[in-house]
Structure 1
Amino acid sequence: MTDSKRDKGMKEAGAAPLTPPMSASMKIRKIGNSLGVILPKDVLASLRVEEGDTVEVVQTSDGRIELAVVDREADDLMALAEDIMAENRAVLRALAK
C-alpha cells in the first residue's frame, strides 16, 4: 500500500481544520441524468483524492454536510479480518487465556 493510499480513509473527515479555512462555491450542473458539482483542484488536493477514488457524503449532528474519503482497501481488509475472527472464535478465546 502506498503512502498516499494509506493516508486516505475515514479519518480524513475528522482531520484538523485546513489552514486557512477553505471555502468554495460550486454551481450544480447536469451530469448525464443526474445533478452534481465539479470539485476544484484545491479541494481535491485537500481531500487527497483523485479520479476513481470514492467519497462519502456525511451529514453531521449539527446539520452540516461533509465529504469523507473512503478507503475501500481498508474496509475490505477489515471485513476479511472479521470473517476470520468469527470462524476461529474458539481458537482466539483459547489463545486469549
Structure 2
Amino acid sequence: MHLIYHIVSSEDWSKQANLTIYEADSLHTEGFIHFSEKEQVSGTISRYYQNVPDLLLLHIDVEKLTHDLTYEMATNKEFFPHLYGSLNKDAVVHIEKL
C-alpha cells in the first residue's frame, strides 16, 4: 500500500464530516489538493502550519483514489503529489492528530 498525506485543520475536516468526499480550499483556488509523501510532511508543517492548532494528518491509500494524482515540482524544487479532484474519503485509511 502506497500512502500519501494531507494536513487539514480539525475544523475544516469536521465541516465536511457528513460528506463522502473532501474538498480542500486549494481545489477551488488552484485546481488541486496538496499532498505530501511521508518524508515531506514535517517540512510542509514547518513551512505552512507553524502555530496552527488542532491539525489532522490524513493517511491516504493512493490505490483507492478516484481522481488523477500527479507529482509536480513545487517552489522548493521537490515533487509533491497533487490530486486533481475531490478526495474520496474511503481512500483515507487513518486520521492522526498532530
Establish whether TM, by shorter chain, passes 0.5: no
Q: TM-score, normalised by structure 1?
A: 0.28
Greater relative CO (CA pairs within 8 A, separation 6+): 2
Q: TM-score, normalised by structure 2?
A: 0.28
Q: Which has the larger radius of gyration?
A: 1
1 or 2, which has the higher strand percentage? 2
1 or 2, which has the higher helix percentage? 1
